[in-house]
Amino acid sequence: MPESFPPAADPPAPPDPADFDMMRRALQLARAAGDMGEVPIGAVVYRALTPDHAQIVGEGANRREIDNDPLAHAEILAIRAAAQAQGDWRLSDLRIAVTLEPCPMCAGAIVNSRLSRLVFAAFDPKAGACGSLMRLTEDPRLNHRVTPLSGILAEESSQLLRDFFRSLRQEKNPRSKDD
């Protein structure tokens, strides 16, 4: 391997029980968004007090349709809420849990807010910027990096998304039940 090859990112620490708890909360937020006709994606910004306990600082769920806002992704809303609550845009002692792999915009927001840990559930092969299409949060050229922890409660998140899109198709075309 040539010497100039970029070094592998440090392996992330394994997820804590608190990360799973926060992902469960993010899934609740995602489900509520789905009930309102939004693609079900939720995010929680939190402070890990111990490996078992976390304090929620900001929450968000996708509101793109309701707000007619292409920026109203769950992560952006959770990060903004957390920064407001902290009175500081630097979130370097906080973590984020999100039910779907962040897109380039949200991955950029995670870098810019200096979050210390990114935990996500399902991969997004079409738009994900944290392993699928690119690895934005791990780019060594950026001045802040986060190695994502992926696959946390991924099946629950994938199921939620599948159910949402299935019911959407059935609404549009009530006669085809199984496609």
Would you name the residues annotated as active-site residues? 75
Q: Give the nearest distance from C-beta 48 to Zn ion in angstroms.
A: 23
User: Min. distance of Cβ 124 from Zn ion in angstroms?
Assistant: 9
CB of 80 within 8 A of CB of 57? no
Residue corresponding to tokens 């939004």: 38
Nearer to Zn ion, 73 or 95 (CB): 73
Reported as type and span, the H/E element at residue 95 is strand 95-100
CB closer to Zn ion out of 18 and 103: 103
Min dist. Cβ of residue 129 to Zn ion (A): 8
**Nearest alpha carbon to residue 94 among 55, 47, 60, 56:** 47
Residue 15 or 102: which CB sits closer to Zn ion? 102
CA 22 centroid distance within chain: 11
Q: Return the number of the residue (39 or 153) whose C-beta is nearest Zn ion.
A: 39
For 27, 56, 63, 139, 168, the CA distances from 130, given in Å and listed in that order, are 19, 23, 22, 10, 27
User: Residue 117 has what DSSP assignment?
Assistant: E
Taking the complex as a whole, the smallest distance from the CB of residue 75 to Zn ion amounts, in Å, to 6
User: Which residues of this chain interact with Zn ion, rule CB under 5 A?
Assistant: 73, 103, 105-106
Total number of residues shown for the chain: 179
Closest chain position to Zn ion (CB): 106
